[in-house]
């Protein structure tokens, strides 16, 4: 897998979540309409550095989070 050097630089990663400004509400609702429920497992690819939980976590049983950032 190729990741730009910035994605493994702790200083860059520390500010990433702050500047993202992403509201996941619409995406989570779409997943729920498609069957996401308390028994589901979600794989969150590109989840970021792990400072915030997956927005789907309250609606499913398990989240597997994967990212190039430590």
| pLDDT tens string 22-64 | 788 999 999 999 999 999 999 999 887 766 678 899 999 999 9
Q: Domain span at residue 22?
A: 5-66
* Total number of domains in the chain: 1
Q: How many CB atoms lie within 10 A of CB 42?
A: 18
Could you tell me the pLDDT band of residue 20, with boundaries at 50, 70 and 90?
low
pTM (2 d.p.): 0.67
The whole-number pLDDT of residue 19 equals 72
CA of 27: how far to CAs of 5, 22, 55, 57, 69, in Å? 29, 11, 9, 13, 23
Rounded to an integer, the average pLDDT of 10-29 is 78
The whole-number pLDDT of residue 36 equals 97
Q: Where are the beta strands (DSSP E) in the chain?
A: 41-45, 62-66
Q: Annotate 5-20 with b (16+ C-beta within 10 A) or e (fewer).
A: eebeeeeebeeeeeee
């Amino acid at each position: 897998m190729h990741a730009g050097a910035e994605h493994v630089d702790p200083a860059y990663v520390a500010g990433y979540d702050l500047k993202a400004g992403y509201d996941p509400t619409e995406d989570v609702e779409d997943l729920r309409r498609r069957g996401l429920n308390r028994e589901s497992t979600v794989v969150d690819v590109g989840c970021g550095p792990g400072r915030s939980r997956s927005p789907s976590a309250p609606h499913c049983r398990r989240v597997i989070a994967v990212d190039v950032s430590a």
